[in-house]
Structure 1
Amino acid sequence: MKNTFKFALIVSISTLLAVGCSSNPDKEMAERLATLEKAELDRIAERQAAQQAQRKEELETSPRWFLSPPEADGTGFYGVGYARSKQMGHALKAARLQAEFELAKMYRQELSGSERAFERGNNEGDVIAQTTFLIDKIVDAVPVVGYTVVEQKMVPLNGVFETFVLLKLPYDEFNKVLQSQRERELDKTVQASFDDLERRLNNRRAQREQEAQANFEREQEAIRNRADMLNKGVEAGEPKANPNDDQVQKPAIPAKAPLSALRSIVGG
């Protein structure tokens, strides 16, 4: 009985040792961490794929004139706006407001915001020199009015309204606003600044028209050159037509041909 108990005890201890050796806590923890890490990477990849699909859908809904806005031409300049909102009216209003802001930036760039130095004398004979940004000073006082809505697009996407707006401000309308602002201004120096600004605006407009005309003439010249090359290629590849080719040429028989010559002609 005693030997049997000792044998059972030895078997139990051996079993416990075997189980203890087979279960490695560090290995189990490493496997569990690897599983969690893989699941997190899968979630990140899935989220990135969903975001990529959403960005692609947004890009496809964007109009071409928003991605590549028209450049200023001889008639005026353009501004684009974009907004997204759950409320349709707010989205449209915000997009148009951004387009107006872009218009203000565009005509500031068109008129060049370089520094200008003004000198004037006071009653005591001193010369007062004042350096200011003419364009920023004048343009900031000019409201963005008189523009036209060229294009407008609104797309419901992912629970919000994606809104795009393209505005155009003609040079004529901007000139009217400048003249109205100048009439309200009492300071003669600022009035002169308005006059200078209007002159520069007209010069810029004329320059734009000349550039457009030059581009048109270059395109027409390229078309003519291309047509000339094609015509020359056709003429070089085809033989010249002979008006007598459709007539069967008959051998000429001398008036006083010898008999052998006549036989050779008739095949005799």
Structure 2
Amino acid sequence: MSNNDLIKWVTSDVDFYDLLGTHFEAPETEIRRAYRKTALKYHPDKVGKDFDPAKYELFQAAYEVLIDPSLKSQYDNYRNAKILKKRANDLFDSKRKQMKEDLEAREKNGFSGPSKRPRNEDIHSESELELKRLAEEGRKRRAARAKLVAENSAPTQAPEKLVTTPAHMAEPLARQTEEDEIERLEKKIREVADAKAKRRAERKVKRTVEDKTASLKKDLNTLKEPNSTEEPATSKKNSPAHKSSSERKPDFSVTMARLKAAQQSRLQSKESKQE
């Protein structure tokens, strides 16, 4: 194959070292020896009717890439980037799994925690801070992963039969599904936290209204109490006047007339006794 034909193979996802039965640090002589030994598995003269042209083409391309210093350097760079990306993905997957489990546990418990706990704002604040921290970590991991994938993206692609497989296609889809699930959990937990904050604010407003109502009632009762205590005194003061007005005093002229009549009656009685 010419170098132009081999360029497309430097971005192959197939491990050429494993295919030839050698290792990454093997010198050219060892690569040639491994090629001659492994060729027995793919050469048409050796396998007969089991010959696979696609596998043989891939085997030949692997050998020619690895013995060409320039092509080998390009392939090694791409291979190393792919290995680093896989390690990063494994690390992200581990942290993502832990984060997902944490979010699912929080969603299940609804931030309830122990049944008996002090009612203060510190616990709620800690839950909100932890939720924000987890959400921020998730965003950072997604951004870092997207950046890493963009940096290590291949400029060209190998033939479809060699580059992609159903497993490779399913892995990004599974990751995306997991990312969507994490976002859904984050959103649901935020909704739960917002609903609790709303209910707490409503209870606070209700308590404030009840306290103000009780205070107003107390003030009204305080204003009414002096009137009720003064009322008996007022009634006592007004009672004699009312009684005196209802009972009329005897007229003075009538009294004098009665006195004169009584005196005259005594005089007449005295005169009759003298006779």
How high is the TM-score relative to the length of structure 1? 0.28
Question: Which of the pair has the greater relative contact order for Cα pairs under 8 Å at 6+ separation?
Answer: 2
| Higher normalized strand content (fraction of residues) | 1
Pair member with larger Rg: 2
How high is the TM-score relative to the length of structure 2? 0.27
| Higher normalized helix content (fraction of residues) | 2
